[in-house]
Structure 1
Amino acid sequence: MTQTTTNSTAPFRYDIVGSFLRPQGLKEARAKFAQDKISRDELTQIEDKYITDLIHKEKEVGLKAVTDGEFRRSWWHLDFLWGLKGVAKYDYQKSYKFHGAKTRTDNAELAGKVEYNPNHPFFKAFEFTKSVAGPEAIAMQTIPSPTMLFRDNRSDNWPEFYDQRQDYLDDLATAYHRTIQYFYDLGCRYLQIDDTTWAFLISKLNETKDQPEEHAQYTQLAEDAVYVINKLLVGLPDDLTVTTHICRGNFKSTFLFSGGYQPVAKYLAKLNYDGFFLEYDSDRSGDFSPLATIWNNRENVRIVLGLVTSKSGQLEDRANVIQRINEAAQHVPLNNLCLSPQCGFASTEEGNVLTEEQQWNKLKFIKGIADEVWAK
């Protein structure tokens, strides 16, 4: 199975979802900051040190795109949402329903009309990441999807601030568009939007298929998601690659959602992303047949197969991973496929249940397979 065509633009043949295990020293520093034992400036200096070390390791393992590991965040999504105007932090009073683990009870909610924040803290964080990445690697920025505001009571109160839901959706898309444009102005050329909403919808559309009224609520949510995402993408620069990672939940090596992609494939096919990172590390993800639906509608799109789990340190069987890439290539041309971990290694600061050494071994494993499958 020799493939001579290389991939010099994002997403790359071997790529990452974005988050990395937090070193113990960083965890301790964040705990001290929470206890008012060190200042924000002191914490930032410590974060800078660990992020610099991380990016050097990412380069050493051969990654073409690097991230800051989300080391400045507690949550993969909430820290970003809290930085938008019109979004506030509050105590959800209950944890998210992961299988086998309980999260903290932080959440976000609408506190006004959603607006772009020119002083969003992620901008300064990206500037640092880009400066450390240098010319040898692309600094990739990861942010949560705007659809993350649709769920978990985060915007049920939209009528308090908007006469029409359409106005809320438009404001949300505009805030994201302006945010992404400013990342671009700062030098970002590769941005990933992480999204658990589609996995949530897989579960709900399956559960309600014999309940027409409730099913219609979830199909409307899917249509709203397509509208907002495509609207925020309109007019972004042509040399900016925007991908999405469809996540099924990732907390202390546990998960939230199961089911194949078929119920949402027709919606994914409408999304004007440049690439899709899709989790395929277990039977929970179903087969590869829905890939054809995406490909048939978006023939230039790249699909990044998350065949290597980030939830365990044990390496997969190499031959089996290559076989599964071959199976996926029956639905999408091999030249449009890539390989990555199924998710990040630490979607929250707690991290998954594996060691840092195992984390790096996973990435070396992925690169080795990609070099073999897409031979140079």
Structure 2
Amino acid sequence: MSDQTAPFRADVVGSLLRPTAIKNAREKSDHDLRRIEDAAIKHAVEEQCQCGLKVVTDGEFRRAWWHFDFFEGLEGVEGIDAEQGIQFSGVQTKSRNVRVTGKLGFGAHPMLEDFKYLASISGGAMPKMTIPSPSVLHFRGGRNVVSRDAYPHIDDFFDDLARVYKEAVQAFYDAGCRYLQLDDTVWAYLCSDEQRAQVVARGEDPDALARTYARVINQALENKPEDLVIGMHVCRGNFRSTWISEGGYEPVAERLFGSVNIDAFFLEYDSDRAGDFAPLRFIKPGHQKVVLGLVTTKTGELEDPETIKARIREAARYVPLEQLCLSTQCGFASTEEGNAISEAEQQAKLQLVVDIARDVWGE
């Protein structure tokens, strides 16, 4: 892997803390919101480049949520006010969800323009687009959030979901995107005994769902352009510095790493909740990469570089060093509220990732 191609030795997951100007403009329903977002994104790109990153995102500044905004832009999906928010460890999100009300379609999705703006200001860095993985649309609500009128047979829904994502991949490619990331909480939830029990309680089989989700993702990525890198961030939940799932990757490792055709897996390894590196033995040799999320975004305290380097060496017992990269464990603001960390601490974390990667792999 050349250090000039994605994924990069020092990479970035996606979301960044929302600047005060954006928060204020949203609260006031400011008609200049897009202009304010443009300026903030340009500044965020400059800061990422100042760290030495060769990849930049727009910080997901135009979104309230990492996933709902994208889904609501699809045809056949609508946002709804849920009875309650998503329960994290000790805190709950705002009450929001989405449901499938009609036949799915990609259409003229507004985030295509969001990517084009990012690409126009990225300079010499590679612009990366982040979108939720298809499995996320189904997992939390299951059959209950998919219209039985539109989809009497759930297999037809999954076929359409794969088709829509195939259209999305091509649309972003046509817009100039060469680095696309699927953000996926589902695979981490399927490692959690608690989350698996919830799936069983609603009458579904978590192992059957894993097989279905793997099939949908692979169908979506069939015949993708060779020069398009697809990453997947496997997230354990990230809301105001808390989490949802815990448990090592072993329950899903063979299916996820061994059969899902992803170019680079971004894996959270910032705490004991993630287990050890042994599941990485299923990573395909050669092409497939692992971006180790060893630097946490949940607290502002900087990790000891030597400790991070030692953990990289430990991971290299299962995956060759040339197939490894480094990033933070997640973004800094999966929702507009953001984690309990300052912008200065955020910048220091990104700089730490770049500095450690430089020491481990060189320029």
Instruction: Give the shorter-chain TM-score range.
Output: over 0.9
Counterpart of 2:261 in structure 1 is: 272
How far apart are residue 159 of structure 1 and its match? Answer: 2.6
1:17 aligns with 2:4: no
- Structure 2 spans left out of the alignment, 5+ residues: none
| Structure 1 residues 255 and 50: CA distance shift in structure 2, 3 A | same
Report SS of the residue matched to 2:131: strand
Report SS of the residue matched to 2:230: strand
What is the one-letter code of the residue matched to 2:223?
G
How far apart are residue 151 of structure 1 and its match? Answer: 2.2
Correspondence 1:96-175 to 2 at 5 A: 96-117=86-107, 119-134=108-123, 136-153=124-141, 155-156=143-144, 157-175=146-164
Residue 262 (structure 1) aligned to one of 250, 259, 266: 250
CA contact (8 A) 2:17 2:339 kept: yes
Counterpart of 1:48 in structure 2 is: 38
Residue 283 (structure 2) aligned to one of 282, 287, 294: 294
CA distance in 1, matches of 2:55, 2:266: 14
How far apart are residue 362 of structure 1 and its match? Answer: 0.5
Report SS of the residue matched to 2:253: helix
How far apart are residue 289 of structure 1 and its match? Answer: 0.1
RMSD (Å) for aligned C-alpha atoms: 1.9
CA contact (8 A) 1:243 1:277 kept: yes
CA distance in 1, matches of 2:150, 2:2: 50
CA contact (8 A) 1:311 1:345 kept: yes
CA contact (8 A) 1:246 1:276 kept: yes
Correspondence 1:1-376 to 2 at 5 A: 6-33=2-29, 38-39=30-31, 42-117=32-107, 119-134=108-123, 136-153=124-141, 155-156=143-144, 157-204=146-193, 217-268=205-256, 269-295=258-284, 298-376=285-363
| Structure 1 residues 131 and 154: CA distance shift in structure 2, 3 A | farther
Q: TM-score, normalised by structure 1?
A: 0.92
How far apart are residue 152 of structure 1 and its match? Answer: 2.5
What is the one-letter code of the residue matched to 2:3?
N
CA contact (8 A) 1:245 1:277 kept: yes
Report SS of the residue matched to 2:111: helix
Report SS of the residue matched to 2:66: coil
Over residues 37-91 of structure 1, what are the superposed CA-to-partner deviations in whole Å (9 max), with x where a residue is unaligned? x22xx11011111111111111111111111100000000000000000100101
CA contact (8 A) 2:190 2:196 kept: no
Q: TM-score, normalised by structure 2?
A: 0.95
CA distance in 2, matches of 1:362, 1:160: 48
CA contact (8 A) 1:248 1:256 kept: yes
How far apart are residue 207 of structure 1 and its match? Answer: 5.5
| Structure 1 residues 213 and 84: CA distance shift in structure 2, 3 A | closer
CA contact (8 A) 1:14 1:340 kept: yes
Greater mean deviation of Cα atoms: 277-286 or 313-322? 313-322
CA distance in 2, matches of 1:24, 1:206: 35
CA contact (8 A) 1:308 1:340 kept: yes
How far apart are residue 163 of structure 1 and its match? Answer: 3.2
What is the one-letter code of the residue matched to 1:347?
S
Report SS of the residue matched to 1:159: coil
| Structure 1 residues 353 and 206: CA distance shift in structure 2, 3 A | closer
CA distance in 2, matches of 1:341, 1:281: 8
Report SS of the residue matched to 2:225: coil
How far apart are residue 115 of structure 1 and its match? Answer: 1.1
Over residues 6-36 of structure 1, what are the superposed CA-to-partner deviations in whole Å (9 max), with x where a residue is unaligned? 5221000000100000111111111111xxx
| Structure 1 residues 154 and 216: CA distance shift in structure 2, 3 A | closer
CA distance in 1, matches of 2:79, 2:203: 30
Report SS of the residue matched to 2:259: coil
Report SS of the residue matched to 2:152: coil
CA distance in 2, matches of 1:285, 1:153: 25
CA distance in 1, matches of 2:261, 2:175: 23
How far apart are residue 114 of structure 1 and its match? Answer: 1.1
CA contact (8 A) 2:268 2:292 kept: yes
What is the one-letter code of the residue matched to 1:64?
K
Report SS of the residue matched to 2:130: strand
What is the one-letter code of the residue matched to 2:292?
L
- Structure 1 spans left out of the alignment, 5+ residues: none
CA contact (8 A) 2:233 2:266 kept: yes
Identity percentage over the alignment?
A: 46
